[in-house]
């Protein structure tokens, strides 16, 4: 604010002398409501914030007495307040104001007298703030701090938890594969794997309101990501909710952080379940669309090819008022203790960061459909991998790096059983020595992101500096962002979230090896 004007407003003198062309932009940019009334209490000016507080417009307020916006019971109190402002300022009172729609607003009001050159009182400038809004903001700050504490706690345990789940589910897979069909022990192992999937779902619910993953954007088939999620989603839905997956076989690929995309789908699906009070059907669809609504960087005008992932429910739907606020942080229609109000705002942030858009189609009693549109990769179909176990030459050599011995041994055994040659290392230093020994024979590096000593991204950068064409796969549980893992990787590669299955591990290595062969072909 202009220093001269600030001094005048602070002293409460000569405000009327300030040229309106200088004062108007300042008042219009004020966060609080600014209300100017004359000696009779008639409105001479109201800024946009003041009009918004009362559900009106500045033009509609002009000329109306302040008493028209008050309950008659407090007229005398407000008149006394305005009278006192003639001689001094600084007093603040709380009053109930009546909005245009009949609802009430508790406002904290302060006044500054407006005088002419010769000291004649000509009116009062009122500063009005929304008490309830401020209190709500304070509550949100406290809630945010509470959730931040929960997030720190989750960040401290979930990485180790995912390592444990990788080992538990991994060794159960190996044991199941060693048993013949019909062996009764296989049923017991199936129960272990099912319980592991439910435990993984609990971890994903923690991820729904904590954002401490290390984002690694890779080329993914969204249908594959969603298909891998279905076994985890089914136990969350309950027996009275059916999940239907509809995939257009000609859909494109997208570039996104797979963990973030999983988080979006989980949040939308859980919300869909909660909207169906008596059960119903959740339909997840994947297909391409042409969009003209988005303003994406590095794109020209006209239609943009997008991949749409839709989550539809047969639930109660939403009215316009609810629909307008669903992406607001902390907004929830669930009862206390049933929701944080962060699921949809988190999903919005992830999609927006990926260069996409999320919107909802809904009406009361007609269910809801959330459409997530992300930019479609060009020529993605040429790189599509079939949804079956991949095969690689028996001579493929994999450098496997993880400082958790149980995870490392499961991954080694799974790859050896598939016919790969595996060089295992318990950390970055040992991996660098192995890299020197094996030289160009190593086809793929698969490394944990967060390790003691050298983190995965740094290790990959150092190895690729010597062998630019090596394929890279990053594995990780849940980490504390850039402080833990060095931020987004400086080396492009596949991303494999923990816990993972042996099949998912082989898929990731196959994609990395294919990308490596593509780099070699480009150089030839």
CATH number at residue 512: 3.40.50.2300
User: Is the residue at 348 inside a domain?
Assistant: yes
Check whether residue 260 and residue 316 sit in a common domain: yes
On whether the CB atoms of residues 96 and 106 are closer than 8 A, the answer is yes
pLDDT, tens digit, 9 for 90 and up, residues 340-396 = 445 677 777 778 777 888 888 888 888 889 999 998 887 544 344 433 444 444 468
pLDDT at 2 over 50: no
Q: Average pLDDT of 232-261?
A: 85
pLDDT, tens digit, 9 for 90 and up, residues 62-106 = 999 888 888 776 777 777 887 787 766 667 788 888 888 888 888
pLDDT, position 215: 54
Q: Average pLDDT of 461-476?
A: 89
Check whether residue 375 and residue 409 sit in a common domain: no
pLDDT, tens digit, 9 for 90 and up, residues 303-336 = 578 899 999 999 888 887 777 767 765 555 554 4
On whether the CB atoms of residues 471 and 513 are closer than 8 A, the answer is yes
Selection from 121, 144, 274 nearest residue 209 by Cα: 144
pLDDT at 272 over 50: yes
Structure tokens at 73: 């019971």
Check whether residue 361 and residue 458 sit in a common domain: no
| Structural domain boundaries enclosing 57 | 3-136
pLDDT at 516 over 80: no
Percent of the chain with pLDDT over 90: 16
Domain boundary among 332, 363, 384: 384
pLDDT, tens digit, 9 for 90 and up, residues 20-69 = 556 677 778 777 888 888 888 888 888 988 888 888 898 999 999 888 88
DSSP of 336-385: TTS--S-HHHHHHHHHHHTT-EEEEEE-TTS-EEEEEEEEPPTTGGGGPP
Phi, psi values for residue 474, rounded to 5°? -100, 130
Checking phi first, is residue 412 left (phi over 0); if not, alpha (psi -120 to 50) or beta? alpha
Check whether residue 290 and residue 361 sit in a common domain: yes
Sign of CA dihedral 403, 481, 139, 342: negative
Q: Average pLDDT of 402-428?
A: 92
Q: Sort 508 into a burial class: Cβ within 10 Å, 0-12 / 13-18 / 19+.
A: buried
pLDDT, position 37: 87
pLDDT, position 304: 76
On whether the CB atoms of residues 269 and 234 are closer than 8 A, the answer is no
Task: Provide the mean pLDDT of the chain.
Answer: 77
Check whether residue 259 and residue 235 sit in a common domain: yes
Check whether residue 335 and residue 442 sit in a common domain: no
Check whether residue 354 and residue 418 sit in a common domain: no
CATH number at residue 251: 3.30.565.10
Give the alpha-carbon dihedral of 82, 88, 93, 97, to 10 degrees.
30
pLDDT at 123 over 50: yes
Chain center to CA of 16: 48
**Better-scored residue on pLDDT, 201 or 174:** 174
**Which of 4-18, 22-36, 185-199, 404-418: highest mean pLDDT?**
404-418
The Cα 383–Cα 381 span in angstroms is: 5
pLDDT at 283 over 90: yes
Q: 12 falls in which pLDDT band (50, 70, 90)? A: very low
Check whether residue 7 and residue 127 sit in a common domain: yes
pLDDT, position 284: 94
**Which of 159-163, 190-194, 306-310: highest mean pLDDT?**
306-310
pLDDT, position 20: 56
Domain boundary among 360, 384, 408: 384
Domain boundary among 355, 384, 413: 384
On whether the CB atoms of residues 328 and 287 are closer than 8 A, the answer is no
Number of domains in the chain: 3
Selection from 473, 476, 499 nearest residue 486 by Cα: 476
């Amino acid at each position: 604010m202009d220093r001269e004007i600030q001094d005048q407003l602070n002293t409460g003198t000569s405000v009327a002398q300030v040229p309106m062309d200088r004062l108007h932009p300042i008042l219009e940019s004020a966060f609080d409501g600014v209300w100017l009334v004359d000696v009779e209490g008639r409105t001479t000016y109201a800024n946009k914030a003041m009009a918004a507080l009362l559900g009106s417009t500045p033009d509609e307020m002009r000329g109306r007495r302040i008493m028209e916006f008050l309950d008659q019971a407090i007229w005398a109190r407000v008149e006394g307040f305005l009278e006192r402002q003639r001689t001094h300022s600084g007093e603040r009172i709380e009053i109930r104001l009546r909005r245009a729609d009949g609802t009430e607003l508790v406002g904290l009001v302060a006044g500054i007298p407006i005088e002419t050159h010769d000291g004649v009182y000509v009116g009062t400038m009122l500063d009005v703030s929304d008490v309830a809004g401020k209190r709500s903001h304070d509550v949100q700050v406290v809630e945010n701090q509470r959730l931040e504490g929960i997030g720190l706690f989750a960040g401290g345990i979930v990485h180790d938890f995912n390592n444990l789940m990788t080992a538990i589910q991994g060794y159960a897979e190996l044991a199941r594969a060693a048993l013949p069909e019909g062996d009764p022990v296989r049923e017991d192992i199936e129960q272990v794997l099912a319980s592991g999937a439910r435990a993984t779902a609990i971890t994903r619910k923690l991820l729904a309101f904590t954002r401490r993953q290390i984002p690694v954007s890779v080329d993914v088939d969204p249908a594959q990501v969603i298909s891998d999620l279905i076994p985890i989603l089914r136990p969350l839905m309950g027996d009275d909710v059916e999940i239907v997956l509809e995939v257009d076989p000609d859909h494109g690929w997208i570039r996104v952080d797979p963990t973030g995309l999983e988080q979006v789908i989980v949040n939308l699906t859980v919300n869909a379940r909660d909207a169906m009070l008596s059960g119903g059907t959740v339909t997840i669809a994947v297909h391409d669309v042409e969009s003209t609504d988005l303003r994406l960087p590095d794109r020209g005008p006209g239609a943009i090819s997008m991949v749409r992932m839709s989550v539809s429910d047969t639930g109660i739907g939403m009215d316009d008022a609810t629909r307008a606020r669903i992406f607001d942080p902390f907004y929830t229609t669930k009862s206390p203790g049933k929701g944080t109000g962060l699921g949809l705002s988190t999903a919005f942030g992830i999609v927006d960061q990926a260069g996409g858009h999320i919107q909802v189609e809904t009406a009361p009693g007609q269910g809801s459909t959330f459409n997530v549109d992300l930019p479609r990769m060009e020529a993605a179909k040429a790189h599509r991998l079939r949804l079956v176990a991949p095969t690689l030459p028996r001579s493929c050599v994999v450098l496997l790096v993880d400082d958790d011995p149980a995870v490392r041994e499961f991954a080694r055994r799974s790859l050896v059983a598939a016919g790969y040659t595996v060089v295992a290392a318990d950390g970055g230093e040992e991996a660098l020595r192995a890299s020197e020994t094996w030289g160009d024979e190593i086809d793929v590096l698969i490394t944990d992101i967060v390790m003691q000593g050298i983190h995965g991204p740094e290790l990959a950068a150092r190895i690729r500096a010597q062998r630019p064409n090596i394929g890279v796969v990053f594995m990780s549980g849940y980490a504390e962002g850039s402080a833990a893992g060095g931020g987004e990787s400086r080396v492009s590669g596949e991303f494999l979230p923990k816990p993972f299955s042996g099949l998912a591990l082989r898929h990731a290595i196959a994609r990395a090896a294919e990308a490596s062969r593509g780099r070699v072909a480009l150089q030839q």
